[in-house]
Structure 1
Amino acid sequence: MSNWYSESSPLERRTFWASFGGWALDALDVQMFGLAIPALIAAFGISKADAGLLGSVTLFFGAFGGWLGGALGDRFGRVKALQITVATFALATFACAFAMTYTQLLILKAVQGLGFGAEWACGAVLMAEIIRPEHRGKALGSVQSAWAVGWGAAVLLSALVFTYAPTEIAWRLLFALGLLPALLIIFIRRGLKEPPRAIASEKTPFLATLSGIFHRDVLRATLIGGLFGIGAHGGYAALTTFLPTYLREVRHLSVLGSSGYLAVIIVAFFCGCLASGIISDRIGRRVNVAFFACACIITVLIYIFAPLTDGEMLVLGFPLGFFSAGIPASMAALFSELYPAGVRGTGVGFCYNFGRIVSAAFPFLVGFLSDHIGLGPAIGIDAAFAYSLVLIAVLLLPETRGKVFEQAAATRA
């Protein structure tokens, strides 16, 4: 990161840290749910399928949140939209701590999904439009690595809370900490500059902005980008939602033991995001994604189906986390480069989050299939199928590396 970062302007650096912080704290809120699943099952007396439905609802509403948040950014500005979305998912996560019934928790998870889906779309496009083209892949890959930071913080908090607090209230304490992202809003309001937007987007009705991505000029990008999103989110959701449960209930690891395995995957995810950004800027978006998709399929199948010892699983956790990071780390740059300025936020938000509408079924399917074929095989089959969709989609998309956006081109001219 140091080379491109040292060449960045003060505005680029401030925007980077605002986007990085928002995504890290977003990950903190979302990943706490996966770590709390066993406690939620016990607290509400629900099945694994019911627990999977909580994750599916979050992903489903995240799809609408991303589309809506991207359109808000196109219409009213990236920075203002980012403030609203961070507050939404932070407050919703905090409210989950006070849920008294399964239905209440289901509703709050839906609101959380709206917030974090919109947050990514606003932050990614803000960063894509501020950073210079030759560093776009590296910068946005570095922003995506913030997910590993938030994920790691969630694992540490989970280990501490569940070790020192009674199980019946530990999960509530964990969700209450979700209010922390709201503090980022204070930083977002200071020092950030709204990137230039097309004048037409400021006058276009909001509903027209939402539907603009289905215009014939960009329809192909929207359809293929949506398929890309299905595979990327489906694979990640199938793998990570029940991975803590798999390590504890199938591999019979303690909370602290499973945290060690997750730590290896999380560190690898961080490294994979940085590597994907560098590779993407050097050899192109398509080759980069195809490589990581193939590697994901092979690694997931080995991790789940091979008769590995605990030590071997620990070692294989690094390539599992590394390769699973490469796909999401490339999505912000790739999707941003597919759309013109007037619908860029809407397009990025839709493509990234549309996958959540369909991928919302993956956690539920893993929970359902686990009752018939076991949790491990259910995770492996679903994840491998999803990553295959990514491979198909990226082969149908154009190469966009180094694209100069309209605003930058006009400034240079």
Structure 2
Amino acid sequence: MSTATDRVVPIEDTSLTGFYNGMTAAERRTFWACATGWALDGMDFMIYPLVIGTIIALWKVDAGTAGLAGTVTLLASAFGGWAAGYLADRIGRVRTLQFTIIWFSLFSLLCAFAQNFEQLLVLRALLGLGFGGEWAAGAVLMGETIRAEYRGRAVGSVQSGWAVGWGLAVLAQAALFSLLPADQAWRWMFAIGALPALLVLYLRAYVKEPEVAAATRAKVAAAGDSPSILEIFQGPILKTTILASLVATGCQGGYYAITFWVPRFLTTERKLSIVSSTGYLAALIIGSFVGYLVGAWYADRFGRRNLFLVFSLGAMVVVAAYTQLPLSNELLWLLGFPLGFFASGYFSGMGAFLTELYPTRLRGSGQGFCYNFGRGIGALFPFLVGYLSQITSLATAICLFALFAYALFFVAAYALPETRGKVLHADA
């Protein structure tokens, strides 16, 4: 079996936007489809953290229990991502992506009709299956469609769609909670989360299966040697799977510890209203968006691993300052930009990095498992932060779990090889 990544191409033009002009029509269509999907995915996920205060007040649940819904969503997404990755290796990247988008859009809509917290918990878990699967299929699709010299910036720029989706969710919150009573506004927030289903129409019409994936599936079918779902845990691939899973755990655990609870931190410990906190979240989101773009450029210019090391250290410094220093609200607002920048920018390297670590026949399974294993363990962080906040301050709970996660991220990334510029091949 080929390693699928045995040749490295030089990257001559490393400017942030240089990749776009050089892309083919097929690459651009895939780029915009995945960017839109990731934006709508981000919007769907961030709706719950934004309405968590309303849920706590209306249904009289404590912070730990409320955080459990976020944890369950992410745990379910871990299983959904691994299953979708394996399915993408068997039936194709595009078909799997279409199915996962329809799935999580449907259950976001159904969340709007929940009558109690238990129903919402079940619906969020079911939504999580599709939410995790969408990233797994979309990231592999992007990584295989885009050429090696553009892959880091293109895949990383797609990640910036998450910040756009987060921004859309915040704008929807500000508008709906200004126009409607809180007990109605939160339901409309979830209803808006059904919009991603429209993207499937575009995928069916314009986005094609990557040639390298189609060729590999044809070879596998001809040889009668379909990959096992457990093959990523065998031989030399096992070490890669373990370390990549720890990288994904650290990067997502830190991110979720921060972004899930910051809206609540602003409205409780900083005494801001839902509407007035919008400006603080805007600084965080703008920083996140810029971080994604800079991270995409950095991944192609200096390497995926270097991106992870620098941004994990930056995130540790900024989150400690944001949560532990006695800052005025004005300074806190300013610090929101670097917090979003460092806590998000490293994601720009994750899709390309995981794509380049695995051979084509195992890429969906490997990438889907590692990223979503990290998402599943990282899923514990919203619950644990909420639980710990009952015996200490929410700010301290956020800080402790974020620092632990980013330290793990740094160590695991340091132990893996650099993959920048690797060319992908069909294998069997």
Could you say which TM-score interval applies, normalised by the shorter chain? over 0.9
Q: 1:57 aligns with which of 58, 68, 72?
A: 72
Q: Pairwise CA RMSD of aligned residues?
A: 1.6
Gaps of 5+ in 2: 1-15
Residues 348, 256 of structure 1: alpha-carbon distance in 2 compared, 3 angstrom cutoff: same
For residue 128 of structure 1, what is the aligned residue in structure 2?
Answer: 143
Q: Is the 8 A contact 1:369 1:378 kept in 2?
A: yes
How far apart are residue 315 of structure 1 and its match? 0.8
CA distance in 1 between counterparts of 2:141 and 2:223 reads: 20
Q: AA paired with 2:425?
A: E
Q: Does the Cα contact within 8 Å between 1:264 and 1:314 map onto a contact in 2?
A: yes
The residue number in structure 1 matching 2:85 is 70
- Which of the residues 159, 164, 170 maps onto 2:179? 164
- The answer to whether residue 361 in structure 2 is matched with residue 346 in structure 1 is no
What's 2:400 paired with?
381
Aligned equivalents of 1:204 and 1:215: distance in 2?
Answer: 20
- Work out which of the residue numbers 202, 205, 229 in structure 2 matches 1:210: 229
Displacement of 1:202 in angstroms is 4.4
The whole-number CA distance in structure 2 between the counterparts of 1:280 and 1:25 is: 24
Equivalent in the alignment of 1:6: 21
Alignment correspondent of 1:89: 104
Q: Higher helix proportion, which one? A: 1
Question: How has the CA–CA distance of structure 1 residues 171 and 205 changed in structure 2, closer, same or farther, with 3 Å as cutoff?
Answer: farther
Following superposition, the deviation at residue 256 of structure 1 comes to 2.0
SS at 2:205 equivalent: coil
Range moving further from structure 2, 215-224 or 330-339: 215-224
Which residue of the other structure, out of 26, 31, 46, is the alignment partner of 2:46? Answer: 31
CA contact (8 A) 1:76 1:202 kept: no
Partner Cα distance (1:307, 1:62) in 2: 37
User: In terms of mean alpha carbon deviation, does 193-202 or 283-292 score higher?
Assistant: 193-202
Cα offset, 1:160, TM superposition: 0.7
Shift of 1:206: 11
- Residue 13 of structure 2 corresponds to none
Mapping of residues 251-330 of structure 1, within 5 Å: 251-330=270-349
1:373 partner SS: coil
1:83 is displaced (CA, Å) by 0.2
Determine if contact 2:227/2:361 at 8 Å carries over to the other structure.
no
Distance 1:204 1:315, change over 3 A: farther
Total equivalences in the alignment: 409
On the 8 A contact 1:75/1:201 being kept in 2, the answer is no
Quick one: distance in 1 between partners of 2:120 and 2:23?
43
Partner in structure 2 of residue 226 of structure 1 = 245
Whole-angstrom CA distance in 1 between matches of 2:160 and 2:225: 32
Matching residue within 155, 167, 192 for 1:140 = 155
* Partner of residue 42 from structure 1, selected from 57, 72, 82: 57
Residue 371 (structure 1) aligned with residue 390 (structure 2): yes
Measured in 2, the distance between the counterparts of 1:357 and 1:404 equals 30
1:309 deviates by 0.4
**Secondary structure of 2:389's match?**
helix
SS at match of 1:371: coil
The answer to whether the Cα contact below 8 Å between 1:209 and 1:346 also exists between their aligned partners in 2 is: no
Contact 2:295 2:347 in 1 (8 A): no
Q: Aligned in 2, Cα 1:284/1:372: closer, same or farther, shift over 3 Å? A: same
SS in 2 for 1:100: coil
Segment drifting more, 352-361 vs 296-305: 352-361
Kindly state the Cα deviation for residue 357 of structure 1 after the two structures are TM-superposed. 2.1
Deviation larger for 61-70 or 190-199: 190-199
Q: Is the 8 A contact 1:75 1:202 kept in 2?
A: no
Deviation at 1:207, TM superposition (A): 8.9
Aligned amino acid, residue 50 of structure 1: T
Q: What are the superposed Cα offsets for residues 63-119 of structure 1, whole Å, 9 maximum, x if unpaired?
A: 111111111111100000000000011111110000112111111111111101000
Whether 1:182 aligns to 2:232 is: no
Distance 1:186 1:35 in 2: 29
Give the TM-score normalised by the residue count of structure 1: 0.96
Q: Pick closer, same or farther for the CA change 1:293–1:22 going to 2, 3 Å.
A: same
Question: CA distance change for structure 1 residues 317 and 135 in 2, over 3 Å: closer, same or farther?
Answer: same
Kept in 2: contact 1:133–1:402 (CA 8 A): yes
Consecutive unaligned residues of structure 1, counting only runs of 5 or more, are none
Q: Counterpart of 2:331 in structure 1: which amino acid?
A: E
1:161-216 superposed Cα distances (whole Å, 9 cap, x missing partner):
11111111111111011110001111111111111321344479999542121121
C-alpha contact 1:67 1:349 (8 A) present in aligned 2: yes
Structure-2 change in CA distance of 1:206 and 1:18 (3 Å)? farther
**SS in structure 1 at match of 2:173:** helix
- With structure 2 as the length reference, what TM-score do the two structures score? 0.93
Q: Does the 8 Å CA contact 1:201/1:209 hold for their aligned counterparts?
A: no
Matched residues, percent identical? 47
1:103 aligns with 2:125: no
